[in-house]
Amino acid sequence: MWRLLKRPYIITSAIGLLLGVALMLGAEQLDRFTTTDAFCASSCHSMQTYMANEPTYKKSIHRTTSSGVQPGCADCHVPKGLIAASWSHLIDGSRDLYGELTNDYKKPELWQARRDELAWQVRDKMLADDSRNCRSCHKDKIIKTQRLRAQRQHELAQREKVTCIGCHFNLVHAEVKPRKSFLDKVRIDIQP
Ligand code: HEC
Ligand code: HEC
Ligand code: HEC
């Protein structure tokens, strides 16, 4: 045993392994904490006032649930998996923090000016990743809707490979008009 420990590379790898595990556990804790609604919705003024406490959001079907399933901010916004989530916290989180520190979002007109752009970015991201977060709860093949219009639109969606966000934008937050580049990418005529 002692002889083994004298070999520097064994010690180094053991320390490396321990550090690695510690970092993983730390990242997991950090991830768990920073993906709670308590963190997302109260860590800065804009998210609290304009997103979490805003009436459209509070009244949306995703929040006033009849099934007891209530998606939070991170369910729709933070990618799944520890590595992807940590990356998103690091990059998106730093950018959001910078935005919050360098702008006085207590002034609603400043936030409003920024909001459209943010909404467009979120939509583009969901288009690009095929609405992956939506699909973590909704499996399109098994949606059994009674509504004829939804049935027809969902058939069309599967045939034409239109992803969820292509039709279901303005889902939970106050309305933001889609920009032309988004509609062009979705291609089909949406009849909401
Ligand atoms: C059920 C899914 C869902 C939940 C839950 C959700 N969002 Fe969103 N969010 C979206 C979608 C979709 C968009 C893209 C804009 C749109 O079409 O409404 C968006 C856009 C945004 C934007 C861009 C600005 C805007 O107004 O569109 C911000 C910021 C945001 N969300 C923050 C939050 C925060 C904070 C929470 C929790 C309090 C949250 N979201 C909960 C789906 C969700
Ligand atoms: C954490 C799970 C979860 C996620 C993530 C989620 N949803 Fe939902 N969604 C639900 C549940 C549960 C309901 C039904 C609410 C009820 O009646 O209890 C629902 C309802 C809906 C409805 C019907 C109600 C309505 O507002 O018209 C649509 C459309 C919908 N979701 C689309 C989406 C899209 C698009 C996304 C991604 C941006 C998404 N959902 C993300 C769980 C989720
Ligand atoms: C081509 C447009 C289109 C696409 C793409 C689309 N939907 Fe829908 N969806 C609709 C329409 C239209 C309705 C009916 C809405 C209404 O009548 O209020 C609907 C209804 C729903 C409902 C509610 C069903 C009910 O009967 O209450 C859910 C849930 C839903 N969509 C989820 C999704 C998910 C998840 C995706 C992606 C896998 C998706 N949709 C893709 C157009 C679309």
| Contacts for 177 with CB less than 8 Å, ≥ 6 apart | 116
183 in a domain, yes or no?
no
Classify residue 98 as exposed, middle or buried by CB count within 10 Å of its CB (0-12, 13-18, 19+): exposed
Indicate the pLDDT class of residue 38, thresholds 50, 70 and 90: confident
pLDDT at 92 over 90: no
Whether 94 and 150 share a structural domain:
no
Q: How confident is the model at residue 46 (pLDDT cuts 50, 70, 90)?
A: confident
Give the pLDDT mean for 51-75.
Answer: 90
* Same domain, yes or no: 54 and 147: no
CB-based contact 88:78 (threshold 8 Å): yes
Does residue 84 lie within any of the structural domains? yes
Q: For residues 44 and 94, state if they share a domain.
A: yes
Name the burial class of residue 92, with classes exposed (0-12), middle (13-18) and buried (19+) by CB atoms within 10 angstroms of its CB. middle
What's the pLDDT score for residue 132? 94
113 compared with 43, residue with greater pLDDT = 113
Q: Are residues 55 and 148 in the same domain?
A: no
Share of the chain above pLDDT 70, in %: 93
Number of structural domains (the chain) is 2
Residue 37 confidence class, pLDDT cut points 50, 70, 90: confident
The model's confidence at residue 3, banded by pLDDT at 50, 70 and 90, is low
Q: Please give the average per-residue pLDDT across 103-124, as a whole number.
A: 88
Owning domain of residue 16? 7-60+71-136
Whether residue 99 sits in one domain with residue 15: yes
Enter the pTM of the model: 0.87
48: in domain: yes
> What distance in Å separates the CA atoms of residue 27 and residue 14, rounded to the nearest whole number?
20
Q: Which two tokens stand for residue 107?
A: 């002034």
Q: CATH no. for residue 114?
A: 1.10.3820
Q: Are residues 39 and 125 in the same domain?
A: yes
Closest listed residue to residue 132, CA positions, set 163, 102, 107: 163
Listing DSSP states for 85-147 in one string gives HHHHHHHHHHHHHHHHHHS-TTSHHHHHHHHHHHHHHHHHHHHHTTTHHHHTT--GGG---S-
Residue 180 to residues 118, 125, 174, Cα–Cα distance (Å): 15, 15, 19
Classify residue 88: in a domain, yes or no.
Answer: yes
Please state the atom number of ligand 2 nearest to the C-alpha of residue 71: 1
Which residues' Cβ are closer than 6 Å to ligand 3? 131, 134-135, 138, 140, 143, 145-147, 149-150, 153-154, 156-157, 162, 164, 166-168, 190
Ligand 2 contacts CB of residue 61 (under 6 A): yes
* pLDDT digit string, tens, across residues 133-178: 999 999 988 888 888 999 999 999 989 889 999 999 999 999 999 9
- Which atom belonging to ligand 3 lies closest to the Cα atom of 164? 37
65 in a domain, yes or no?
A: no
In this structure, the answer to whether residues 154 and 102 fall within a common structural domain is no
Residue with the bigger pLDDT between 9 and 168: it is 168
The confidence score (pLDDT) of residue 87 equals: 76
Do 95 and 20 fall into the same domain? yes
The answer as to whether 115 is a domain residue is yes
